Amino acid sequence: MPDARVEVRGAAWLEETDDGVVPHRLPAWTWAQFPDDVVAMCDEQPSGVRLRLRTAARRLVLHVRTWRVATLPHAEPAPAERFEVLVGGRVVASAVCEASGLLTFDPSTATTSLGAAPAGTVACTLPDAGGVPADIEVWLPYRERVALVAVEADAPVLPPAPVDAPRWVHHGSSISHGANADAPTGTWPAVAARSAGVDLVNLGLSGNAVLDPFVARAIRDQPADVISLKLGINVVNHDLMRRRAFVPAVHGFLDTVREGHPTTPLVVVSPVLCPLVEDAPGPTSIDPDAPVTTFRTAGRAEEVAEGKLSLRVIRAELAALVAARRAAGDTALTYVDGRELYGDADAAELPMADLLHPDAAAQQRMGERFARVLAAVQQAVPAR
């Protein structure tokens, strides 16, 4: 890699390193504006990134290097994640890269350290295509750093057919990044994209959907047929803003996106249900006294009256903001209450084990529901 026969979709650019080609989801120029290592780590975790190629091979081998995140103080690496192979939109094979390096993350300082990674392989057996080449997608793990080295197959590898599906650019928090999904295609944006037949660019950034201007400019400057922004939870998690700053910041983010996409269907999605911070503000953190990973908040409900933000306040502000902008003429802007994706009934049936992130089944359900939103907004997308 790079290999002219293999297309990488869902990435803004490909960095050629000594370890291989590393996909990045944010443009190269944004790196100079990252506030810490955490954003860089998220950028290099290839949620929604997939390889596309055409072959009649029965055996496909990816030569890669991978890094699993080990979070201090315990520094236990995350389990190996699957690479998934799709033919005709259907998952036909999956495999993990057993050999891996470590990316050590210290949340107390927002710093990371990248260790050495051994050469590894991901080998998959494909269905018999009878010698007829077919377009194949390989979805990369959504939270491992991956360096692509080479693609090997037991039949010729050809460039894939062009993609003509509408391009959906989505930005959100760790839930959009994929937290607790059981596979690359199991993140809710991936589920929604595959169900709705759209071409996904996932800018879900764990802990970092905080209205950063460089993210708005990255969305502004790339092609998009549909845009969605899932906003609010990380602002509460970090206790970053008061109500006074939040509303103008959202306006500014939308103004920037609209500079490049003045009439593109744009969906603002408020936070899903999270009882921990429905009526109390942040900041949230991992509870050190809990026997398993569980989040807590240091905020108190009475602080909302002082201008701090809870999810209930954020939903009301986002709904009012979208209504005002629509009344001012932006009729391509719509609002979705996040509780339509994961609400009270879902929390009772599929509770958040860590009190902050839905599980794999809930990710699937959220994706299925958002696919209906995409289907509705696509009515306004011109045919290509």
Residue 36 near residue 205 (C-beta atoms within 8 A): no
Instruction: Describe the crossing of helices 243-260 and 213-220 by its angle, rounded to 10 degrees.
Output: 20
Q: Which run of H or of E encompasses 201?
A: strand 199-204
How far is C-alpha 150 from the geometric centre of its chain's CA atoms? Answer: 25
Among 357, 80, 111, 130, which Cα is nearest to 237's?
357
Whether pTM > 0.75 for this model: the answer is yes
Q: What pLDDT, on the 0 to 100 scale, is given for residue 229?
A: 99
Residue type, 185: T
Order the strands of the 266-269 sheet from edge to edge. 199-204, 167-172, 226-230, 266-269, 333-336
Counting every residue written for the chain, the total comes to: 384
pLDDT for the residue 108 = 87
> Angle at the Cα of 12 (from 6 to 13), degrees rounded to 5?
65
CA 199 to each of CA 49, 50, 190, 340: distance values in angstroms, whole numbers, following the listed order? 11, 11, 9, 23
In this prediction, the residues of the chain whose per-residue pLDDT falls under 70 are 380-384
How many whole angstroms separate alpha carbon 314 and alpha carbon 300? 16
* Contact between 205 and 171 (Cβ < 8 Å): yes
Helix, strand or coil, per DSSP, at residue 230: strand
Residue whose token pair is 């291989």? 20
Q: Which domains does the chain have, with CATH numbers?
A: 7-158 (2.60.120.260), 167-380 (3.40.50.1110)
Instruction: Return the pLDDT at 11.
Output: 99
pLDDT at 76: 83
Tell me what pLDDT residue 380 has.
Answer: 62
